C-alpha cells in the first residue's frame, strides 16, 4: 500500500514537470519586467492599458508595475532652465529685443495630470508660449527708456505673471 502511494505521488510529480519550467519562466519574466528603478531627482507615473494614467506619483527607488499591462514613465523633477529671446514693441512703438532665463520644475503633486494632458515634453509646449506671451504683454506697458531704468520692476512683473500663468 505504501509503495502504491509512492508510485501515485511520483506519477503526479512527473505530470507537473511540464508545468514547472513555464511557471519559472513566467515568474522570472514577472519579476524582471515588473520592477523598475526611479533614479534620484525623478518621479514616475504609470499608464495602465485598461484604466489610463494612474493618479499616483511613484518616488525614487525600486517600484513595481504589472508587466505587459502597465508602462512606467520616468519624469525629471529637478530644476531646469531655458532661455527665451523675443523681439517686441514697447509702449512708444520702439523695437525692443528682450531675453530672459526661466528656471522651472514641475509640481510633483500634479505630475499625472501634467503627463496626461501634455505628455513628457510639457516644457517644450508650455514654457515658450507663456514666456513669449508674458514678455510681450509686460514690455508693451513701458517705454523703451523705462525698460532700462525700471529693470527690476519689469523683471518682477514678468516673474509674477509667469508664475501665475504656469499655475493655470
Question: How do the pLDDT tens digits run along the chain, 168 residues long?
Answer: 455 556 777 777 677 677 777 888 888 888 889 999 999 999 999 999 999 999 999 999 999 999 989 999 999 999 999 999 989 888 888 898 999 999 999 999 999 999 999 999 988 888 999 999 999 999 999 988 898 899 999 999 999 999 999 887
E strand or H helix at 85: strand 80-89
Q: Are 143 and 89 in the same domain?
A: yes
**81 strand-pairing partners:** 103
Q: Using an 8 Å Cβ cutoff, are 101 and 87 in contact? A: no
Q: Are 65 and 128 in the same domain?
A: no
Q: Using an 8 Å Cβ cutoff, are 155 and 146 in contact? A: no
Q: Are 106 and 62 in the same domain?
A: no
Q: Are 71 and 115 in the same domain?
A: no
Locus of grid cell 511613484: 58
Q: Are 62 and 84 in the same domain?
A: no
Structural domain range at position 67 = 2-76
Residues, the chain: 168
Cα–Cα nearest to 150, from 163, 162, 138:
138
Q: Are 108 and 140 in the same domain?
A: yes
Of 39, 57, 76, at which residue does a domain stop? Answer: 76
CA-CA distance, 138 to 142, in Å (whole number)? 7
Q: Are 37 and 88 in the same domain?
A: no
Q: How many domains does the chain have?
A: 2
Amino acid at each position: 500500500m505504501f509503495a502504491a502511494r509512492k508510485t501515485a505521488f511520483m506519477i503526479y510529480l512527473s505530470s507537473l514537470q511540464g508545468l514547472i519550467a513555464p511557471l519559472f519562466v513566467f515568474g522570472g519574466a514577472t519579476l524582471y519586467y515588473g520592477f523598475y528603478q526611479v533614479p534620484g531627482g525623478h518621479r514616475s507615473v504609470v499608464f495602465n492599458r485598461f484604466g489610463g494614467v494612474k493618479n499616483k506619483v511613484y518616488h525614487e527607488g525600486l517600484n513595481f508595475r504589472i508587466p505587459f499591462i502597465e508602462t512606467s514613465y520616468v519624469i525629471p523633477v529637478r530644476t531646469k532652465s531655458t532661455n527665451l529671446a523675443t523681439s517686441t514693441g514697447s509702449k512708444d512703438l520702439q523695437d525692443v529685443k528682450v531675453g530672459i532665463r526661466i528656471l522651472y520644475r514641475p509640481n510633483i503633486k500634479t505630475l499625472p495630470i501634467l503627463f496626461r494632458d501634455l505628455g513628457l515634453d510639457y516644457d517644450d509646449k508650455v514654457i515658450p508660449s507663456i514666456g513669449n506671451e508674458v514678455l510681450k504683454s509686460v514690455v508693451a506697458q513701458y517705454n523703451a527708456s523705462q525698460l532700462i531704468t525700471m529693470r527690476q520692476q519689469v523683471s518682477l512683473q514678468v516673474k509674477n505673471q509667469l508664475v501665475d500663468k504656469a499655475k493655470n
